[in-house]
Chains A and B, each alone.
Chain A
Amino acid sequence: MSFVEIAQVLYDSQAGTALRESVYAFPIVEGVHLIGLAFSVGLILLIDLRLIGVFLRNVPVADLLQPLRPWLLGGFALTILTGISLFVAEAAKVIIIPVFPLKIVAIALAGINALWFEVKWARRSAEWDAKPVLPGAVKFAGIASLALWGVVVISGRLIPYLGAGL
């Protein structure tokens, strides 16, 4: 089945239709998706600003990442769950709008960047995170993360503007 066909099945599903036609549920799910941004994109923004040396630069990266990681992951779980719900409700309409796959690709790349950073750098943070100047690769991960999540938020907001019938 093609993406378009899968999207149509989701769109026509009972769950998708119910959410799309609801008076309160859809706005609430969308509202929670937006609030979730503060816990996911917002907290990662702070971590990225630390990696590029702009926020709490005297604090070792591990001292920020370790306590915030559970909140970050919880925030992303919430944002992704509400995001999937919103997608199911509007699947057939959004799948044909180019900024939508752009958003998904940017999320995937941001996830890969985060995973790479976790595996290659975060594990041995004691070796590098108290230095005044952080390794180039670490700064790159921060900049890449900022850029990618920026693309995600921008393309997300543009979905209703660049497609018909939303």
Chain B
Amino acid sequence: MTSLELFHTLQSSSISSYIGHQDHLVGAVAQLFHITGLILVLTSILVVSLRLLGLGLVRQTVPQLVKATARFVWVGLALLTLSGIVIFLPAAEHYDPNPIFWFKFKLLAVALVLHVTLYRKVTQTEAAAPVLAKSTAVVALAAWFGIAFAGRFIGFY
């Protein structure tokens, strides 16, 4: 099955049809939940990454900041996923030929894998090796902010 065939099936589903028939302000609400989730995730990554770079909340330890922001990251990702589905489904086929759409999701896959591997490992200790800590911070910032930027660009294609 090609992606287009899959997206066609998804777009033709009854839930997709239901969403698509709603008032267009429902789309705006979905985008607002998407923005909320986005801010929760980006700001959490920002605060921890700045700390890994020796900037920002330097009086707190890295594990402390990760612990305090962990729930924002998971709530944020949940909001992003649910709202993302609402945004995607009614126009699924429309996204298939869009290279920015695919770039965003490939980058998201990379970011998620890094988040549960490298990022988790580096932020577990109070004093990770400086080069590893800083590289992880830079990669995390580039990945997540890159996803956000690409996401905005999808609509401009």
A residues whose Cβ falls under 8 Å from a Cβ of B: 27, 30-31, 34-35, 37-39, 41-43, 45-46, 55-56, 59, 63-64, 67-68, 71, 153-154, 157-158, 161
A71 and B60 form a contact (CB under 8 A)? no
Partner of A31, one of B32, B58, B152: B152
Closest to B39 in A: A42
Give the distance in Å from the alpha carbon of A26 to the alpha carbon of B67 in the complex: 38
Partner of A67, one of B36, B57, B64, B156: B57
The 8 A CB mask of B114-157 against A (1 = contact, 0 = none) is 00000000000000000000000000000001001100110010
B152 and A34 form a contact (CB under 8 A)? yes
The reply on B1 being an interface residue by CB < 8 A is no
Contacts of A37 in B (CB 8 A): 35, 38-39, 42
With A161-B24, A161-B25 as known contacts, state yes or no: A68 contacts B56, CB within 8 Å.
yes
B43 and A42 form a contact (CB under 8 A)? yes
A133 to chain B, nearest CB (A): 19
Contacts of B25 in A (CB 8 A): 161
Summarize B's interface: helix, strand, loop or mixed.
helix
Summarize A's interface: helix, strand, loop or mixed.
helix
The reply on B107 being an interface residue by CB < 8 A is no
B149 and A154 form a contact (CB under 8 A)? no
The reply on B91 being an interface residue by CB < 8 A is no
Tell me which residues from 55 to 108 in chain B have a Cβ below 8 Å from any Cβ of chain A. Answer: 56-60, 64, 68
Closest to A43 in B: B43
With A37-B39, A55-B68 as known contacts, state yes or no: A30 contacts B152, CB within 8 Å.
yes
Contacts of B68 in A (CB 8 A): 55-56
B47 and A27 form a contact (CB under 8 A)? no
Give the distance in Å from the alpha carbon of A64 to the alpha carbon of B31 in the complex: 30
Give the distance in Å from the alpha carbon of A54 to the alpha carbon of B145 in the complex: 26
B58 and A67 form a contact (CB under 8 A)? yes
Contacts of A64 in B (CB 8 A): 57
Contacts of B152 in A (CB 8 A): 27, 30-31, 34
Give the distance in Å from the alpha carbon of A166 to the alpha carbon of B75 in the complex: 32
Closest to A34 in B: B152
Contacts of A55 in B (CB 8 A): 68
